[in-house]
Amino acid sequence: MDRLRIDKWLWAARFYKTRSLATDEIDKGRVSVNGQEVKPAREVKVGDTVALRREGLTRTVVVKGVSDVRGPAPVAQRLYEETAESLQERERAAEQRRYAPEPALAIGHGRPTKRGRRELDDAQRHGWGDRWSASLDDETPKK
């Protein structure tokens, strides 16, 4: 076997957990082979360059082997070799995340817990009142 569908290869090389996830990403235009956007049925061969965009980062790998069987991770890693530029980009992104984490990740999402709801209600009853701003101005009308 010297050629294989790109969706099968991405699945066998463990870039995606299922073939349908690989197909979805290809259909969204996040995978390219030799600089061209592809369809899931596009065949790859040894020596092709595959670029994958995941989580805001582009990984570029060179196909070193073709397998339609999803094996263990060490075997899957022998199917490709990541380019030096891609490795540098991944390390730079990891360093950036380490020193400047995304602010939205620190914000708690969803509904407040029962305890949090009580704290909000207490703050409204005792501290906020009907004020519409945080200014310290006297809100009584002047005559």
**Mean pLDDT across the stretch 11-22?**
94
| Beta strand residue intervals within the chain, DSSP E | 3-5, 31-33, 36-37, 43-45, 49-54, 57-63, 80-82
Q: Model confidence at 141, in pLDDT bands (50, 70, 90)?
A: low
- In the prediction, which pLDDT does 64 show? 95
Query: Is 0.85 surpassed by the pTM of this model?
Result: no
The CA–CA distances, whole Å, from 13 to 2, 67, 71, 118 equal 15, 8, 8, 50
- In the prediction, which pLDDT does 84 show? 94
Q: Pick the residue with more confidence: 50 or 107?
A: 50
Distance CA 32, CA 49 (A): 8
Q: Which of 81, 89, 65 is nearest to 12 (CA)?
A: 65
Spatial contact of 21 and 70, defined as CB atoms under 8 Å apart: no
Structure tokens at 49: 């360059």
Count other Cβ atoms within 10 Å, centred on residue 53. 14
Task: Indicate whether 39 pLDDT > 90.
Answer: yes
pLDDT in tens, 73-123: 999 999 999 999 999 999 999 898 888 876 766 666 678 889 988 988 888
Distance CA 38, CA 21 (A): 15
Return the minimum-mean-pLDDT range out of 41-50, 51-60, 96-105. Answer: 96-105
Hey, what CATH class is 3-99 in? alpha beta
- In the prediction, which pLDDT does 81 show? 95
Spatial contact of 14 and 38, defined as CB atoms under 8 Å apart: no
